[in-house]
Structures are given as C-alpha cells and as structure tokens.
Structure 1
C-alpha cells in the first residue's frame, strides 16, 4: 500500500472512531457532558409525556401500534440517528400509547406505581452497571444487598442462619424453592448429589402439593426441573379460596397410597386472583409431620411483613423452609426486584458452583462474599439499590402506608359492590384484589361470560381505565388489582360506572 493511501485510510478510521466513540460512557469531560445533556432531554421527554396524559391508555388499536414499528428498517440506519430523532420516534412507536401503571384507574394486574427514590437508584444501577455475581465486580454493592437480605430475613422471622439472594422475579424465586426441595429430598433419602449424578429413577414419583389457585410458575418450573407438570398436585380450596387443610391431609395420603412421593408443599401468601393467604401455620405443621419441604410463595403478600396492622396475616411464614418475595409488587419497586430466602444457609450447597475465574474455593476460604454461589443467575443487576434508596428515604413505616391504603380501597370496593343488586362478588378481599362480575339480569342458569368479557375489552379499548378478567369455575369474572395508593374512592366509583355503562350498552345490542 502506498504511503499516501495508508495515511488516508488511517484518517478515515480515526474519524469513524471519533464519531462512534462519543457514545461510549466514560469518565472524560466530554462523555459526561453528553450524558448530562442526554439524560436531561430524556427526563424532559418523560415529564412532558406524563403531563400530557390523564388516562392509563389511549385506546389505540394493536394493528396500528404494530404497523408503526414494522415500518422501521434497522439495517437502513448504519450511520445512526441523533438523540432528538430517536426520542421523537419513540413517542410515536411507544411512549404515546404505553400503559401507565401509575394512573389511579389502572387496576388490572400486579403492576405497582413506582417510587421516585427508585428512579434515582436506577440511574446509578444502569450508569455504573455493577454486576452482583462477584465482589470484585460490585464491592460495596455486595454488602448493600447482604444488608437488605438480612433485613428481610428479620422481617420473615427466620433464624440467623438463614440466607437469601435477589432474583429477577417470583417465577425464578419459586424455581429455586422447588430446586432446593427436590435436591434436599434426594440428598437426604438417596445419598446422592443430584448436581453430579442427576435424578434417581424414583424422581418420576416426586409430587409437589399446592392449592388449586396457586401460581402457574409451579407447573412451569417443575417442567424445567425434569419432574413434569403432572408432578403438581392441586389441593382443593375453601370458600375463601385458601388451601383446605383437611383436603391437604387427604391428598398427601392418597399420593402415598398411589406409591408417589410428596416432596414439597407450596403455601401461597397472596394468590394472583384473590389475594388469598393459605393457613401457613397449619401447613407448616403438616409438612413437618410428613418430612416434606415447605415453600411459601409470598410474591404478592410479602409486603405485609412491614405493616404493623397486617403482618399477622402472614403468621406461620417463619416456619417455612423457603420463601419468595417480589419487591416489585407490594414494595413499590421497578421491575425487576425480587428475593428468594432459605431457612438454612447450608441449602446453598444445592446451588453453588465454583468457577476459578469467578468464585474460586480459595476466595471462599478467605471469606470473600461472592454472591454467584447463591444464585442461578451469573450476571445480575444491582437491583437491591432501589430498595435501599426506598428504605433510606421513605422508611418502613412510610412504605407500609401504601399497601395499607390499597387494602382499604379493596374493602371499600367490596362493600360498594356487595350493596348493589347488579353485581356478584365472590370473596372478601384478603389483600388488595377484588373478584366480581356484572349481573344485571337475574335469571336461573344465566351465563354472564360474554357480557363481562365484552366489558373488559370495551374499557381497555376506550382507555379511560384498565381492569382485567379471570375465570372462576369456568365463568368469566372481572378483577380489580388495587396497588396504587393514589387511587381514590371517586376513581373506583367512576370505574364501576364505566362497567355498568358498557354492560348496559352490550345488553341493549344483544
């Protein structure tokens, strides 16, 4: 290559590098200035958007939203666009029509409004990008997470020898509970290490018992753990949709008579549909008598632990072998922020693995707290920082008032619906969900499925509120999931009025 050509090529490479390197976040003055300006524009865009919307949804159709994104060709963008261009584009393809969980009339799923301190924490979590798998990737972050684990363990009433880890959500936490239950049983009764030797032939007979309204993740996880969805044995619930203790005793005996092996019972502290809390103390006693692992899925109800008024609802959780808690539900944290806790830290042995480049045995002997040994994830975000900011800035007393307000709203809604003759409510709220249906005509054998399905869809498509539906005994019911402490009684009355409006509209047409 001629010297002149080589010089031109080097100049072109230098220009290209400078153009694209400006996007690399670093500690130099220019990079930090770009960061400040970019974040300022992002915050302004979000602020303008929030001020410009007063409904949880716009009602824009799914085909319209999809077509906007389909029209964008990523390969035609080799040189990149400016931030201003991308922000304007984002308004059109996402921001304008995104669902607002913080809107007081969003009462559909277990999505909480988030706290401002957590948004500040998110800036640090994303910008510094600590990875929580090892101490040399997180330093102080490790000890912040450990402090919050100890704090939660104390709230649970677990012994000092307990342990835990932050996870991506309830599904992962439930998987860890079932994994420990499976491997603990195998190690105890067959004397083999399932990590090394796999499952014994008898594993095909392993069974996990849970209420018939427990979370679907149990079936999903048992499939992933090699036991199959059929290993889940549902236990009947009572009229309050809580696990029936007599039914539990019968199911255990039935499974043993069939030659199957019950290895775990899962009690739910806050079912997704009803918020019902199983009788945890009684389940713990039965589990102990039968030498069965007791896991509690408190993904929803875990927030009651910090409420002086309501923590008694979780009595018996301290007797469990493991627990799931979702901070991104009743602790008002952004997704994702969840935790898994085990009664005895020795149970970590069923999970941990030593990799010389990450958490060598020498480091463990030195007492270096590498968190990867407790997690089924390797790379893991510093999500604990969000809860840290919350507790430091709001405190447990302040935080508990939010879920208590949501629970008050649920009781108010139940009273309103129960005192009307055009609604049917089928349970007394335990936490903050209300399951009911619109029943304007009282005819024997009448089905209200089509009517209530229409109501849910019509309200969503209108965008003024968002509710959801579920099925109870194969019939469609509507559901309010109340988590927003800013939702007022007036908001709830207006949503009920929307239900009646769309219900009457449907009845006139049919």
Structure 2
C-alpha cells in the first residue's frame, strides 16, 4: 500500500514556484488598480463615511479566518477592488488634505521585494545585507542633516510620533545621567527626587505631549515657552525659564519646531542650541515635515543650525516621495541611544558573535522585529538624484505660493499667511451673518462627501486668545499644475457660494 506525500499547506513567496505565483497575483492586482484608476471621477469615491462603511460591510461579510481557504487570486481581487475604490487617490490634483505624496514607482517595487524576502533587522542572521543597507542609509541621512558621520547615529522608524517618543526618552535618560549621575531607565523617576520638565513652544506637534505622558513625566510638566509674532520660540524666554527653575525640577529637553505642519514655523535653531548647551539640556528638533527643505538649495537656509540639535526627526514619507513608513530619528552622538540597550561593539565588552561582526540592530529601536524601510528609501533617492529631488521640492513650494497668491486675490477668501513651505491656510468668508468657523467646517465636509476634493482643517490661535478654523491645502505632488490647482479653488468657491445662498434662503 502506497501513500502519497501531502501537498504544501501554502505557497512560500520566495521559492521559484512562489515567485511565479507572486507575479500572477501582482498582475491581477495591477489590472484592478488600472481599472479603478480609469473609472475615478475625483480624489475619493463620493458618499462620505457612510459610503465607505457600506462598502466595507459588503466586502468584509465573510469571516477573517473561514473554515476553508479560497483561491488566492479570487481572495486578493475580492479585497483589492473595494480597497482601491475607496482609497484616496493621492495622485489626483484635488487630494490636498494630508502629507501623503505619491511614491515613486521604484520605491513601490522595492516594497514588493521587501515583502517577498521578509528580512528583519534585529539580528545578523535575520538580514545580513539589510543591516548594512540600513546603517548606510542612516549615515547618509545624518550627513544630509549636517552631523559628523563618524559620531552620529540613529534609526529608521514608523513615523514622526515614534521618533519624537524615542527622542524624549533619550533626552530624559541622557540629561539625568549627565546632571545627576543616575539612570532613570534603571531607578525610575520616583526615586530620583527631582521632577523632569520639558520646554517647548505653543505650536509643537501633539506627539511630543503624548511622549511626555507615556514616559511618566506628565503633561503638567511641559513648560510652554513664549513665541514671537511669527510664532517662533523666543530664545531669551527659554533661557529665562531655565535659569529660574527651582532645584527640585530638572529640565531634560528643549523641543524646537523645524517646519510646523500648519504655518511652516522654524524656531531659531542656533540661538536655541546655545541656550540648551548653556543649561545642559537636550535639544530636539522636530523636522518631520520641514526636513524636506534640506533637499532644496533655495529652502535649505531655513534650517540653518539643525546640525546643532542633539536629535532630529525627519519623515521621507512626507517630502521624500517614498511609501510609509519611511521616517528616521537621527542623533548627534550615537552613544546616546543607550536608552534602547545599545551595546559597545568592541571585544572588550561584547560576546564572541559581536566580536566576529554578527551585530544586529535590536538595541537601537523600540521595535525588535521590524521591516527594512531602507531599501525603498535607497532605490528612490538613487533613482531620482539630488537635482531632481530639489526640483520636486521647489515645484511644490511654487505651487503653494501660486495658491497663496490666488487666494489673496479672491475677495471671499482669507489667506492665513504666506507659505514658507508647502502648506497653505485659508478660509471662506461667508456673508449673511453666517459663522465663518462653522461654515468652513461644513464646506470641507461637503466637498469630501461629494468626492470633489480632500482638504484638511486646523485651528489657528489668535492674539485675543481665541482660535479660528482654517482650511489647509497640502502641496506634495510635483506633478500637479497651476491650472489644476486653479480649478480646485474655482470649484470650492462655486460650492461655497451655493451653500451660502442656500443658507440665506432657508
């Protein structure tokens, strides 16, 4: 009696047969993407949240783990089609809401390679070349910021929020160790006998507040430093606050904004660096969005002094045209990453594997197993080149300036401010006694529900202590033309006028 060997339970992607299967499945997915793209009428399908929920309910009616699996091609098509239909088309000129640039084709292809090979960075045997590539990309980005490559370090992260959390962790541990000779990551904060505080301006990203909360420092121990009329932190005020701190409080971080997501504010980095050094405080620069200026000879002077920060957050999935996640945390001195267990790489204090060069990156990140984001960054940057990336950044800046000029010329629109980078704030000014804040909120929801455009909204603080609702255009697609941008604004003005007339007749 003979028995036949059981068939494989699944098709591993990296085998010869698996690679052929991947090719067929990718062709299926690409065909669907082409069909959906050809049928689009706007940057998102009309229908708003209700329409998206209805599409999801239909596509997800079957359980996640059915008793018996289905044909891979049919399963893929069944979910890719509604996913694509209800995805934001970030190549559309009216997709202006968020920091999601259209990624390069070569970066998208690299993502597929990364998924098939499934390397990791925590141990040498999990990704030998991936580790070398990751370290090289970090070194190259450190040089872009202006750090000394021999001393600098860092890690790729999932985004600016994680980068800021890691920066605040290093700031807390490094500053306390240098000032008190004690280690917060060992003893905890309660035993130190002092209360750590963090200084930052009013416009700092919310992720800094969240990081301070998670680290046990507490929101109440964030000290807001006054800003000038342009919204920039005043170094003399930071110095005054640090000088006047009582003995039972210890400043561990001074957080500077290096390109805010609304107004493009860049704090005076050289002056703040001098204040931080004088008081022995860690200076962190959040350049998640603003770091795009580094690619442009025209805009790079905005970030003078960035290399004087102890750590820098930057996101290449904003101004780098690579798929998320493509973010980095860079540090001026690599040894300050000891908060995450960084071990010396000399034979004096390492095991025999480390001495032989079998070194992973598990001690430089919050994550252990993690994807290799360096591949898509490297292929995208090399394929584009410095001149092209600079031209892409400048084109987006030119689009922002065009939009600002057009808005300023429209009597029913109010421009927030001239855009230093690529975010343009504005609002419609309704008549008939209508509340402008409420009207602009409804206008934004209406254009998105109808699939006409995707806009962001924000609240901008006013000198009287209040705030106003502003709409935001985020220009990160260099393929957008000024004519297309004018059509978006024309359509918005027409819809706003219709809404205003309807409200007046009601």
Please confirm whether the aligned pair reaches a TM-score higher than 0.5, indicating the same fold. Answer: yes
Q: Contact between 1:102 and 1:114, CA under 8 Å: does it hold in 2? A: no
Match of 1:154 among 122, 137, 143: 143
Q: Is the 8 A contact 1:45 1:87 kept in 2?
A: no
Deviations along 1:107-154, one digit per CA (max 9) or x if unpaired, are: 111111111110111111111011011222111111111111111111
Aligned to 2:437: 449
Residue 499 of structure 2 corresponds to 506
Alignment match of 1:490 (pick from 483, 488, 505): 483
Structure 2 SS opposite 1:105: coil
Q: What does residue 108 of structure 1 align with?
A: 97
| CA distance in structure 1 between the partners assigned to 2:190 and 2:57 by the alignment | 49
Any idea what the Cα deviations from partners look like across 1:231-287, whole Å, max 9, x if unmatched? 222223333332233443344345x15953221111111112222211111111111
What is aligned with 1:132?
121
C-alpha distance in structure 1 between counterparts of 2:397 and 2:483, whole Å:
16
Residue 340 of structure 1 deviates from its aligned partner by 0.8
- The 8 Å contact of residues 218 and 232 in structure 1, kept in 2 or not, is answered as no
User: Paired residue for 1:460?
Assistant: 448
The residue aligned with 2:18 is 31
Task: State yes or no: 1:55 paired with 2:42.
Answer: yes
Of 16, 28, 32, the match for 1:45: 32
What are the superposed Cα offsets for residues 425-475 of structure 1, whole Å, 9 maximum, x if unpaired?
A: 2222111001111114498xx741111111111111111211111111322
- TM-score, normalisation: structure 1: 0.90
Q: Which residue of 2 aligns with 1:185?
A: 175
Which of 31, 46, 51 is equivalent to 1:64? 51
Q: In the TM superposition, what are the counterparts of 1:364-379 in structure 2 within 5 Å?
A: 364-379=354-369
**Structure 2 residue matching 1:371: 3-state secondary structure:** coil
1:205-244 aligned within 5 A: 205-244=195-234
Structure 1 contact 410–482 (Cα < 8 Å) conserved? yes
Normalised to the residue count of structure 2, the TM-score between the two structures is 0.91
Range with bigger deviation, 217-226 or 198-207: 198-207
Distance 1:200 1:75, change over 3 A: closer
Change (3 A) 1:69 1:462: closer
Return the alpha-carbon distance in structure 2 between the equivalents of residues 82 and 43 of structure 1: 18
Q: What is the deviation of 1:34?
A: 1.7
Q: Is the 8 A contact 2:408 2:415 kept in 1?
A: yes
Matched, 1:299 2:288: yes
Q: Could you say if the C-alpha distance between residues 78 and 24 of structure 1 is closer, same or farther in structure 2, counting changes exceeding 3 Å?
A: farther
Q: Distance in 2 between matches of 1:61 and 1:414?
A: 28
1:485 deviation in Å? 0.4
Name the CA distance, whole Å, in 2 between partners of 1:451 and 1:131. 49
Kindly indicate whether the alpha-carbon contact (under 8 Å) linking 2:14 and 2:116 is maintained by their aligned counterparts in 1. Answer: no
> Offset of 1:394 from its aligned partner?
1.3
Q: Aligned runs of 1:307-456 on 2, under 5 Å? A: 307-352=296-341, 361-441=351-431, 447-456=435-444
CA distance 1:180–1:117, change in 2 (3 Å): same
Distance 1:438 1:291, change over 3 A: same
Change (3 A) 1:227 1:83: same
Residue 287 of structure 1 aligns with which residue?
A: 276
C-alpha distance in 2 between matches for 1:361 and 1:327: 35
Q: Secondary structure at the match of 1:435?
A: strand
388 and 96 in structure 1: CA distance in 2 versus 1, 3 angstrom threshold: same
Counterpart contact for 2:48–2:450, Cα < 8 Å = no
The within-5 A match list for 1:162-181 is 162-181=152-171
SS of corresponding position for 2:322:
coil
**Maintained 8 Å contact 1:59/1:460:** yes
Using the TM superposition, give the Cα deviation of residue 301 of structure 1 relative to its aligned residue in structure 2, in angstroms.
1.1
Instruction: State the alpha-carbon separation in 1 of the partners of residues 413 and 247 from structure 2.
Output: 44
Which 5+ residue runs of structure 1 have no aligned equivalent?
none
Aligned length: 491
CA distance in 1 between counterparts of 2:221 and 2:414 reads: 35
Q: 1:389 to 1:87 in 2, by over 3 A?
A: same
Superposed displacement of residue 225, structure 1: 0.9
Q: Distance in 2 between matches of 1:291 and 1:351?
A: 22
**Pair 1:85–1:66, CA change in 2 (3 A):** same
Alignment partners' CA distance in 2, 1:215 and 1:149:
23
Q: Structure 2: which 5+ residue stretches go unaligned?
A: 344-348, 462-466
Q: Is the 8 A contact 2:212 2:219 kept in 1?
A: yes
